[in-house]
Amino acid sequence: MNSIIARACSRYSTGFAHRADKHLTLHSLRPPSMTPKKKTHQELLAPFFYEHLRMKQNAMVIDPVQVDNTPKKRESSFADPWKVVTVSDREIAVLKAMNEEGFETDEVYGIGPQREAINTHPYDLPSAQPSTKIQTKKPGEGAFTDVVTGPYGQREFKYLYLIDRDGMHIVREMSPCPESSRGIPLHSLIKSFAVVGGEIFFDDHETKTAYINLGSARFPFRDTAEADRIARFVLSLGYEKIVAVYPDRDFSSLPYDMDDRYGETLANAVYIRESL
């Protein structure tokens, strides 16, 4: 009986080994898969993790109560504008009529094409909506409300802005933002794609007056013509006067810098609605 079992097991073992060898041979002849394995978001960011951790350890810690109680140092003051532009009601009406469906391929609100954020850490892109409050307005929807007003140039009262197909987005810079490696909001955390970005301050006394600059390293503006179109766009949101802080020069030879943004003798252009 034992010999019969042994012979049966021997035949089974031999047949199984033969089938296994055949399977391995066929498998080894198959061409390698041409579809690469898609990496997860965490895997893509892994090389930057320790740098991001170091940045988080040195991030700003914002106390909203202390920021809100910061005394205002001075009134907004500027040099005489190098130009004063009257924007017609017709131009405002054209901007109000624009919407996402009507944009040309490379023009958003007549300003320019959208592009990806530059000069940013991969962790500082919006994989999730930042917890910081973001407000959005389109032309004709009225000026921003529920904003902190303060003098131009004092950081506690500064807002960051971005313009994209959905309109203009603003967020107060000096507010806690745990998603950011710097502890505060960044242009790239608002949107990873946009037309242009900068900084905006709201006047203490005139709710329809705003001060803007083009100071975004993530979405820098390209030339004075584009800066002119940005100021007109902001005016169309519902403002009556925009003071745009940018010099009248060739930015390809000398980039827009901190010295172009702040100081009481800065070059600036003023935009006023025709109907005023």
Taking the C-alpha atoms of residue 126 and residue 194, their distance in angstroms, rounded to an integer, is 12
Own/partner contacts of 56-63, CB < 8 Å, gap of 24 or more, are 56/181, 56/183, 59/180, 59/181, 59/182, 59/183, 59/184, 60/182, 60/183, 60/184, 61/176, 61/183, 62/174, 62/175, 62/176, 62/183, 62/184
3-class SS of residue 271: strand
3-class SS of residue 54: helix
Contact 227, 83 (CB under 8 A): no
Contact 92, 236 (CB under 8 A): yes
Q: Is 193 exposed, middle or buried (0-12, 13-18, 19+ CB in 10 A)?
A: middle
Same domain, 63 and 159: yes
Say if 118 falls within a structural domain.
Answer: yes
Same domain, 83 and 202: yes
Give me the amino acid identity at 39: K
Taking the C-alpha atoms of residue 143 and residue 241, their distance in angstroms, rounded to an integer, is 11
pTM: 0.80
Say if 105 falls within a structural domain.
Answer: yes
Say if 40 falls within a structural domain.
Answer: no
Handedness of CA 25, 26, 31, 34 (dihedral sign): negative
Q: Which helix (DSSP H) or strand (DSSP E) does residue 137 occupy?
A: strand 135-137
- Number of domains forming the structure of the chain: 2
Q: What is the pLDDT of residue 9?
A: 47
Say if 36 falls within a structural domain.
Answer: no
Same domain, 16 and 59: no
Same domain, 21 and 114: no
Say if 120 falls within a structural domain.
Answer: yes
Same domain, 103 and 9: no
Same domain, 154 and 19: no
Structural domain including 26 reads 1-30
Same domain, 214 and 118: yes
Same domain, 179 and 129: yes
Same domain, 54 and 13: no
Q: What is the pLDDT of residue 16?
A: 43
- The structure tokens listed for 21 are 């060898």
Angle ∠(82,84,86) on CA atoms, nearest 5: 160
Same domain, 89 and 149: yes
Contact 212, 243 (CB under 8 A): yes
Same domain, 135 and 194: yes
Say if 38 falls within a structural domain.
Answer: no
Same domain, 118 and 160: yes
Give me the amino acid identity at 213: N
Q: What is the pLDDT of residue 84?
A: 98
10-residue averages of pLDDT along the chain (276 residues): 46 48 51 62 64 71 89 92 96 91 80 92 75 93 96 96 96 91 90 95 96 95 94 97 94 89 93 89
